Every structure is written in structure tokens, then in C-alpha cells.
Amino acid sequence: MDNYQASCEGLKQSPQKWLITGVAGFIGSNLLEKLLALNQCVLGLDNLSTGTSTNLQRVRNSVTPEQWNNFIFVPGDICNPGDCKTAMLWNGVSVDYVLHHAALGSVPKSISDPAENHRVNIDGFLNILLAARDAKVTRFVYASSSAVYGDEPGLPKREAQIGKALSPYALSKRINELYGDVFSRAYGIPCVGLRYFNIFGPRQNPQGSYAAVIPKWIYSLLQGEQITIYGDGETSRDFCFIDDVVQANILTATHSNPSFTNEILNIGLGVGTSLNQLYNCLKNLTMASEPCEPTEPNVPAYCEFRAGDIRHSFSDISEARNRIGFLPRFTLEQGLKITIDWYRRFEKPS
């Protein structure tokens, strides 16, 4: 039995109280599904600005009625300190763990609206951190981002080596990490930041101008539309399946050593994949079970690089492996197969 299996078994034997912010979003709803399946008590805070009630309904459909009854949805906003305080209490008792994932997660959107990025990602982060401090939670786990590496050219990306931020989004995540460090030292609240690389999987929004590349491309391929690639296609990213992100959150929150605090950990697959490679893989996987129409475009369209984008990025996950026993269970292709099947069943237009 590995660390993750042991953690899950331990939670089944001794259920805990959790708060997930951004619970109706992509990552939040996947965390909710896993925790409910482990018979945990979960509070979920969301203002449904980017998350959806459909995500919550799909979680409800995937668990038993008894497990669903262990979930309390708290409609609210991390930008409202009162909502943050309310969300910390399960029937008057403070939650044990906070998994903070409410944020605006788009680099281009942060460039077009830096004030809103600051309001949500920095002011909102401080609000939820203050509420967690006052509730004396056991551990505060929050979503950081590989965007904080900025213009640091070294590969693979290692936690101690970061460069200058290239976008307001990247800056906001770095400020989150600095706040986590200060609160760990000044108030003794155990904070751990998870630097996510490029996460993908079921329930990720495939539409809109700021959609992530994998859901957007899957959605387009299933419609027979041509894919657009920013730059020359040799830009590379570290694509990590959502179930491995869930694993990282559970391992981090339930780490048995109370001194495990004030940490930053890379969470990714540890492999770089170019956009051209990703396109070819997705095209082959979608064609394997659903052949393309003869008139479907078979080459992507290339356009200018996007402002604020990092050229190459993939993670060194040795710290996460050594500190929490994190070990990705899904290859890129395995995760893409699961994701394509999900979009074919739930998101493909009729």
C-alpha cells in the first residue's frame, strides 16, 4: 500500500471536516467527488462566477445519497470576509482542512483586467487565510501555479529557482506564496502551496476565450473544427491529470508531521510536451474511436505568441515525491483518453 492508498484508508476510518473554496469549479468539484467517496464531511464555498451547479450535480450523481448528505454548499465569495468565516464552520465546529482553489485562473484575463485579478486572487486569498487562521485549522493547502517561475529559463522547474513574473496572474500567485510563508511564521498556521503545472481532466470548461488548451482542443476536434496554436507549436508544457492533483491535495492535507508547514511543492507529471506533440496525440486519440470527416481540417492554424506566456515549462517533482510521497499515476495519454471519453459523453454538441 503506497502513501496515497494509506491516506485514503485512514480517512475512511476517521472522517474529517474539509472546506473546499471554488468547489463548483474544475479542480474543486473533482476534490469534492473524491472526498465524498471517502465519506468525508465537506463544506464548499463558491459564488458560481466560473464554477457551475452542473459540476455539483454531476458529483451528486457519482456518489451515494448518504455521501451527498455529507456536503454543505455555502453560496458566497472569498472577497467577502464574512462568507469566509461562515465557511469555516461545520455545525459550529471548525473544519480540519482547507483546500483553497477559488481564483481567477487565466493569464490573458489577468493582463486585460489586473484590478479584478488582484481583488480575487490577492485580497480574496488574504480573506480566506485570515478566516483559516482564526478557525485554527490543521492545515491550509492552496493552489499556486507554475506561472510564478516567470522568466527563469532553467529546466526542469525547481521550487527554489524562480524568475520575474510575466503577468498579473503570476504575480498574484507569488504573493499568495509570500502570504502563506508569513502566516506560517507569524501565526503558526500550517500553509502549503501546490504549484500546479497544466492540469486537465473531466469538468474543465472547454468554451470561452480563456479556456485551457486541452479541453478547448478536444471540444474543437470532436466538432471537426480546426485547432489554433499560438506561436510555432514548440512551446512546451507539463500536463498533469486531475486525479493526480486530487492525490496531491489529500497527501498534503493529511501529512502526519505537524511541522510540515511553510512549504511549496511542484505538482505535475514531470514531463514536457510541446503543443505540436499534444495536438498530434489528441488528433490520433479522437480519430481512433471516431474517424474524422473527409472535409475536416487536418493541420492546425498558427498565429502569434500570446503575451505573458512562458516558452517552456516542466516540473521537477522530486520534492513532492520526497515530502509527501506524491507519484503521478496517469501518463498524459492515459489521462487524455479518460478526458476525451468524458467530453464525448457530456460536452459534445448534438
pLDDT confidence of residue 299: 87
Q: Are 279 and 232 in contact (CB under 8 A)?
A: no
Nearest by Cα to 194 from 153, 250, 256: 250
Mean pLDDT confidence for 276-297: 77
In angstroms, the CA 219 to CA 211 distance is: 11
Q: What is the pLDDT of residue 297?
A: 52
Q: What is the pLDDT of residue 182?
A: 98
Q: Looking up cell 483518453, which residue turns up?
A: 337
User: What is the pLDDT averaged over residues 234-247?
Assistant: 97
pLDDT tens per residue across span 74-92: 999 999 999 999 999 999 9
Is the pLDDT at 294 greater than 50? The verdict is no
Q: What is the pLDDT of residue 161?
A: 96
pLDDT exceeds 90 at position 5: yes
Identify the pLDDT of residue 11: 98
Q: Which three cell numbers stand for residue 248?
A: 496531491
Assigned C-alpha cell, 99? 483546500
Domain ranges of the chain: 3-199+241-268+314-329
Single out the residue of 213, 196, 245, 184 nearest to residue 28, CA to CA.
245
Residue 291 has pLDDT above 60, yes or no: no
pLDDT grade, residue 264 (50/70/90)? very high
Q: Which of 40-44, 65-69, 82-86, 256-260 has the lowest mean pLDDT?
A: 256-260
Task: Give the residue numbers marked as catalytic.
Answer: 169
Residue-wise pLDDT for 90-145, tens only, equals 999 999 999 999 999 999 999 999 999 999 999 999 999 999 999 999 999 999 99
In this predicted structure, what is the pLDDT of residue 295?
46
Residues 6+ apart with CB under 8 A from 148: 162, 165, 170, 173, 174, 177, 195
Calculate what percentage of the chain has a pLDDT beyond 90. Answer: 90
| Residue 141 or residue 210, greater confidence | 141
Give the span between the Cα atoms of 210 and 2, in whole angstroms. Answer: 37
Structure confidence by residue, pLDDT tens digits, 186-204: 999 999 999 999 999 999 9
CATH code for the structural domain at 3-199+241-268+314-329: 3.40.50.720
Rounded distance between C-alpha atoms, residue 194 and residue 333, angstroms: 23
